[in-house]
Amino acid sequence: MKAKIKLFATLRNGRFDVAEMDLAEGTTILNITEQLEIEKKDAAILFINGVHAELDSLIREGDDVAIFPPVGGG
């Protein structure tokens, strides 16, 4: 299955901004961050299709996955 993976802020360094990935059924966000060598603490805020997700959330066909490090502002 295919899903779109988006990285932000410092997570982009040495990786990518956005990539279309071919994933096996049952892939979680954690599988992706491990594959990309992103430490757990650096994958602080996660969204699937604009809704907050967890590291163990399952990714489905066509999902839009966003991974942010800890950020703040206001």
Partner 1 sequence: MDKILRIDMGAAGGPKMKVEDLGQYAGLGGRALTSAMIAAEVEPTANPLGAENKLVIAPGLLSGTVAAMSGRISVGCKSPLTGGIKEANSGGQAAQVLAKLGYAAIVLEGLAPEGKLYKILINKDGVKIEPADEYKMLPNYDLIDKIKGVYGDKVTCMSIGPAGEMKLSASSIAITDMEFRPTRHAGRGGVGAVMGAKGVKVIIMDDAGLKNREPKDPEKFREANKKWVEGLRSHAVTGQALPAYGTNVLVNIINESGGFPTRNFKTGQFEGASAISGETFADIETKRGGNPTHGCHRGCVIQCSGTYVDKNGKFVSKQPEYETTWAHGANCGIDDPDTIAMLDFLDDNYGLDTIDMGAAIGIAMEAGIIKFGDKEGAINLIKEIGKGTYLGKIIGSGAAIAAKVFGVERAPVVKGQAMPAYDPRAIQGIGVTYATSTMGADHTAGYCIATNILKCGGFVDPLKSEGQIELSRNLQIATAAIDSTGMCLFIAFAILDQPETFQALVDMLNAFYGLSLDADGVAALGKKVLSAERDFNKKAGFTAAHDRLPRYFYTDKLPPHNKVFEVTDKELDSVFNW
Which residues are near partner 1 by CB under 8 A? 6, 8-10, 12, 41, 44-45, 47, 50-52, 66, 68-74
Using the minimum distance from each CB to partner 1, give the nearer residue, 20 or 25. Answer: 20
How far is it, in rounded angstroms, from Cα 16 to Cα 40? 18
Least distance from partner 1 to the Cβ atom of residue 51, Å: 7
In the complex with partner 1, the residue whose CB is nearer, 12 or 24, is 12
Q: Closest distance between partner 1 and the C-beta of residue 18, in Å? A: 9
Strand order in the sheet with 45-48: 18-22, 2-7, 64-68, 45-48, 51-53
